[in-house]
Amino acid sequence: MSIAFTLCLLAIVALSLLGLPIGHAMITGSVLYLWVKGIDLGIAAEQLLNGMYSSYLLLAIPLFILAAEFMNSGSIMDRLLRFCNALVGRWRGGLAHVNVVQSIIFAGMSGSALADAASSGKVMQSLMTRDGKYTPAFAAALTAVSSVIGPIIPPSIPMVLYALISDTSIAYLFLGGVIPGLLLGGVQMGLIAAAAKKRNFPVEAAVPLRELPRVTWEAFPALMMPVILFGLLYSGVTTPTEAAAAAAAYSLLVSAILYRSVSWGNVYKSLLGSARITISIGMLIAGALVFNYVVTVENVPKTVAAMFKAYELSPFTFMLLANIILLILGCFLEGTTILLVIVPVMLPTAAALGIDLVHFGVVVVVNIMIGLVTPPYGLLLFMMVKIGDVSLTELVKEVLPFLWVMLGALALMTLIPEIVLFLPKLFGYKG
Amino acid sequence: MSWLQAGAWLRRRAENVAAGLLAAMFLAFVIQIVFRYGFNFPVGWASELTVATWLWLVLFGSAFVLSEKEEIRFDLIYSAVGPRVRIGMAIASALALVVLYGASLKASFDYVSFMKVEKASYLKIRMDWMYSIYVIFLVAIIARYAWLLSRLLRGRDPEVGDVTKVSSGL
C-alpha cells in the first residue's frame, strides 16, 4: 500500500466523517491520490464518464424505481392492504402480519427498502396505532424490519449493483433472492405469532372468505407485476434492463387505465421523485467508479486475496468472516457504499475459494439490508423515527428481537447454499 | 423578483429538466422494446439515448437539483455536534473539495475536449459534447461549495440532512 493510497483512504474517511456527501468524498479523495502520485488528474473524469456511459445494466435502477413510483401513485397501496387484511388479518396480531405480508408483496414490485418504508410507513403506522392497538414503537419497528425484505425479493436495486461488480447473472441473482426473502418474512411472522399471545395483540374483524375473490381481483393487476417481470427475465426475451423498462410501462398502464388513479401531475411527481433517487444513487456509483480505479491501480483485491490465501481459510470460515465484517460495517456505513467499495475487494477471494458468486451475492445483499436496521447507523431506523414519531431507543428495543431472528435466518442461508441456489438451479443455473 | 425567487424559479426549471431526462430515458426504452420485439427492427439510437440521459441526469441533477438536505452523507457525528463545531467541520470539508475539484478542473476540461475525436455511433453526437456535462458539473459544484464556504465563514450553520428525503435506493 503506497503512501498516496493511505492518504486517499484517510481523506475519504475524514471527509465523510466531516459530513461531506459520500459521492463527493470518494471523488475528492481519489483526486488527492492522483495528485500525490503525479498522475494526470483528468483520469478522474475519464473513469467517471466512461464508467457511467458504458454501464448499460445500471439503467435498470432508475427504471425499477420508476416502476415502483408509478405503482405507488395510484390506489394500489389501499387495494394491497385490503388484500393482505383478507388473508392474514383474522389471526391474532392481524395487522402486524398484514404489515409483513404487504412488504413481501410490495417487494415484488419495488427494489428498494427505503422506498417501501416511505410509501407504506405512514399508512401502516396510523392503522396499527389507531385506538392504541399497538405501541407506536412496535409498529415503527415492524415497518422497518419488514421493509428489509423489499430488495431481497426481486426486483432489487442492490442486486443490480452486485451483478455489476461481480459479473454474475442478474436473472439468477433475482431468483436466488426469492426463498431467502420469504424465509425472512416467515421468521418475522413467526416472531409476531409467538409474541401475539403474550402481548395480547388485537384480532381484526375477519373478512368473510366469500369476499376473498373480489379483494384478490381488485389487487390482481398489482400482484401480476412480479409474474410479468419474471416471465420477461427468464424467457430470455428481453435484457434485464428492458425487463425493468417493461415493468415501469406496465405499472404506468395499470395505474392509469385499470385503477384510473393517475393524473399528469402524478406522473410528473413520480418522474421527479424517481429522478431524485436516481441522482443520489448515481453520485455514489460515480464516486465508486473513480475510487475503484485507485483500488485497482493499487492492486488491493489481489493483495487481499493473497492475504486470505496465506491464512488458508476454508470457504466456510471466509463466509463467516465476510458476514461478520459486513454486519459490523453495516452498523456504521451506508449500504450502497459497502456494496460498491468493500464487496469488490472481497470478490476475488470468494471466487478463489470456490464460493458460488450468486450464493455469495444474495448473502451479501441480505447482510447489507439487515445493516439498514442495525444501530447506531441504520437508514430505515432513522426514517421510522421520523415517520413513527418515536425515539431511537424505543425503536431499537422493539427492533432487536426481530434482528436476532433475521440474523438466524442469515446464518441459515450462509450455511445452506441450497436455500439460495435451489430456485436458480431449477431454472438452469449451472453454478 | 428577488434573488431568492429567481433561485427558486431556476431550481424548478432544473427539476423540469431532470424529470424530462428520465421521461426521455423511459420513452427511448419503450421505443426500443416495441421496435425490436414488435417489428424485429433494432434501433441503436434509442439505446444510445438511454445511456446519454442516464449520464446527464446524474451529473446535471447532482449539480442543480439535489439540495444539501437530500445528499447521502454520513451524518451521525455531523448532526450530533453543536453548530460551532459543525461549521468548523463543514468549512474543512468544503475547502478540501473546492481545492481538489479546482485542481482537477483544467485536466478534466482537457480530457473532455480531447474526446472530440470520437463520435457516438448512432446519435452522431461528438463525444466532447456528450461529456461536457462533467465540466459543467465540476464548475457548478465548485461554485456551490465556494458559496457555502462564504456562508460558513460568516457563521451560518449548514443544513443537516433530512433522513426521510435521503434515499440511496437501497
Mean pLDDT for B125-132 is 94
Name the residue with higher pLDDT: B3 or B165: B3
Cross-strand partners of A203: A92
Task: Locate A136 and state its grid cell.
Answer: 407506536
Question: Which whole-number Å values give the CA distances from B151 to B87, B90, B98, in the listed order?
Answer: 10, 11, 14
Residues of A in contact with B46 (CB under 8 A): none
Residues of B in contact with A58 (CB under 8 A): 54
Percent of chain B having pLDDT more than 90? 64
How far is C-alpha A153 from the geometric centre of its chain's CA atoms?
9
pTM: 0.92
Does B62 sit within 8 Å of A20, measured CB to CB? no
Q: Whole-angstrom Cα distance, residue B6 to residue B3?
A: 5
- What was the pLDDT predicted at B10? 93
Establish how many alpha carbons lie within 13 A of residue B96's alpha carbon, considering only the half-sphere containing its beta carbon: 26
Does A275 sit within 8 Å of B21, measured CB to CB? yes
Helix (H, G, I), strand (E, B) or coil at A260: coil
- What was the pLDDT predicted at B167? 64
Test mutation, A27, A31, A156, chain B, max B CBs within 10 A: A31
Measure in Å the smallest separation between the Cα of A80 and chain B Cα atoms: 22
- What was the pLDDT predicted at B163? 66
Main-chain dihedrals φ then ψ at residue B75, nearest 5 degrees: -110, 20
Q: With contact defined as beta carbons under 8 Å apart, do A200 and A233 qualify?
A: no
Which residues of chain A are modeled with pLDDT < 50? none
- What was the pLDDT predicted at B164? 64
Does A32 sit within 8 Å of B112, measured CB to CB? no
Segment A79-128, tens digit of pLDDT: 888 899 999 999 999 999 999 999 999 898 888 898 888 888 888 999 99
- Residue among A323, A318, A291, A313 at smallest CA distance from A412: A323
Segment B34-72, tens digit of pLDDT: 888 888 887 889 989 999 999 999 999 999 999 888 888
Helix (H, G, I), strand (E, B) or coil at A203: strand
Report residue B165's pLDDT band, with 50, 70 and 90 as the boundaries: low
Report the residue from A41, A53, A277 with minimal CB separation from B107.
A41
B16 to chain A: nearest residue by CA? Answer: A272
- What was the pLDDT predicted at A306? 87
ipTM of the complex as predicted: 0.94
Name the residue with higher pLDDT: B139 or A387: B139
Main-chain dihedrals φ then ψ at residue A133, nearest 5 degrees: -60, -50
